[in-house]
Chain A
Amino acid sequence: MKTLDLSLLWPLFALQGLLAVIGLVSLARARSVRGPKWMWVIIILLGNLLGSLVYFTIGRKE
């Protein structure tokens, strides 16, 4: 069994975390989004990469 090399894995988790944080900041500062804001908080936090992606591409109003 390979040992999990954390030095290579943590950047992946850090980037996913960063994406979620950008999503939440953008959500907090947005005046209005499609659908209720709390729904997007859940989607961003639980949806991983896909959740943030969905928020950025269809949740935001431009």
Chain B
Amino acid sequence: MRSAWFFYRKEMLEMTRSYKLLWIPVVFIILGIMQPISAYYMPEILKMSGDVPPGMLELYKLPGAAETMAKSLGQYGMVGLLVLALSAMNSFAGEREGGTAELVLARPLTPLAAASAKWLAQLTLLALSLGLGAACAAYYTVRLIGGLSWSAVLEASALYGLWLLCVVSFTLLFSACLRAPAAAFLSLAAAAGLALLHTLLPRPLRWSPAALPQLSVEALMQQGATAYAWVFPVLSGIALIVLCFLGASLLFGRNKLPRF
């Protein structure tokens, strides 16, 4: 597995040189702090935009701290997810179609080691972006709106992060067998499909990883319906990630050469 470590270092160097390790965390921080700022300054923003019906401003109620934080995390589920999926879509597909896979896999590097390195690199990027983004969002929320329980923020971010990691793992799986744009599209579609199913059938699908965003909100509101509601979604999320990862390494081993 030493080769996996060298490959991981190569992945991280690539992310640095392509500025991904810089711009994606910056985007996450901006998305995170925009929510509390716009909630706080909403009356001013409305006033500046011109004709607001009288009485409207007085009706504006500052949302609660937990609600604001939940909205920040919700941004990561939309724009953040899009950014992560688009940045992971080339992971295997780029190496295969570009021909670099042919050279590295002729060395004693197994597809499993390469896949581990790639998955870990995506995890690093996700953890860094989400960690910084959520921390800044929480700081702004506390300063502008009101107190938050740090342990609740940590719990909520971890639950949300697991959901994001599920989708990124999907992207890696599809990237190992399809072209990059198809991989990004399919993984986002899969995420949307899972989320939709969960909204339609919330009770039968309580255990699905798509329940994680909802659980994250409940963790912030500190109103979890049942104490251990998170156990099955977390376990099924981890199972999904492991399956995607194993599938990706298997498919990468089979599809290491560009298509003709």
Decide if A and B touch, CB cutoff 8 A.
yes
Could you tell me if A1 and B30 are in contact, using CB atoms closer than 8 angstroms? no
Tell me the count of chain B residues lying within 8 A, CB to CB, of chain A.
Answer: 25
In the complex, the answer to whether B18 meets A60 with C-beta atoms within 8 Å is: yes
Contact of A4 with B44 in the complex, beta carbons under 8 Å: yes
Q: Provide the bound-state CA to CA distance between A23 and B94, in Å.
A: 21
User: CA separation between A41 and B260, bound complex, in Å?
Assistant: 36
Q: Which of A16-46 contact B (CB under 8 A)?
A: 16, 18-19, 22-23, 25-26
Q: Which one of B29, B34, B83, B143 contacts A57 once the chains associate, using CB atoms below 8 Å?
A: B83
- Does B26 count as interface, using CB distance less than 8 angstroms? yes
Residues from chain A with Cβ under 8 Å of B44 in the complex? 1-2, 4
Q: How far, in angstroms, from A37 to B125 measured CA to CA in the complex?
A: 28
On whether A19 and B27 interact (CB within 8 A), knowing A2-B41, A8-B144, A62-B94, the answer reads yes
Asked if A19 meets B26 with Cβ closer than 8 Å, knowing A4-B41, A8-B37, A62-B94, the reply is yes
Q: List chain B residues, Cβ under 8 A from A12.
A: 30, 33-34, 37
Task: Convert B202-244 into 0s and 1s, putting 1 for each residue whose CB lies closer than 8 angstroms to a CB of A.
Answer: 0000000000000000000000000000000000000000000
**Size range of the interface on A?**
20 to 34
B19 in contact (CB, < 8 A)? yes
Which of B19, B30, B79 is A22 in contact with, Cβ under 8 Å?
A: B19
Within the complex, the shortest CB–CB distance from A7 to chain B, in Å, comes to 9
* Chain A residue contacts of B33, Cβ below 8 A: 11-12, 15
Is B90 among interface residues, defined by CB-CB distance under 8 A?
yes
Besides A8-B143, A11-B33, A56-B19, 4 more A-B contacts (Cβ < 8 Å) are A22-B26, A23-B23, A26-B18, A58-B86
List 22 A–B pairs whose Cβ atoms lie within 8 Å, in order of A's numbering.
A2-B41, A4-B41, A4-B44, A8-B140, A8-B143, A8-B144, A9-B37, A11-B33, A12-B33, A15-B30, A16-B30, A18-B26, A22-B23, A22-B26, A25-B19, A26-B18, A49-B27, A52-B23, A53-B27, A58-B86, A60-B18, A62-B94
Give residues in A with beta carbon < 8 Å to B.
1-2, 4, 8-9, 11-12, 15-16, 18-19, 22-23, 25-26, 49, 52-53, 56-58, 60, 62
**9 pairs of A and B residues whose beta carbons are closest in the complex:** A57-B86, A26-B19, A62-B90, A19-B26, A22-B23, A15-B30, A22-B19, A56-B23, A62-B94
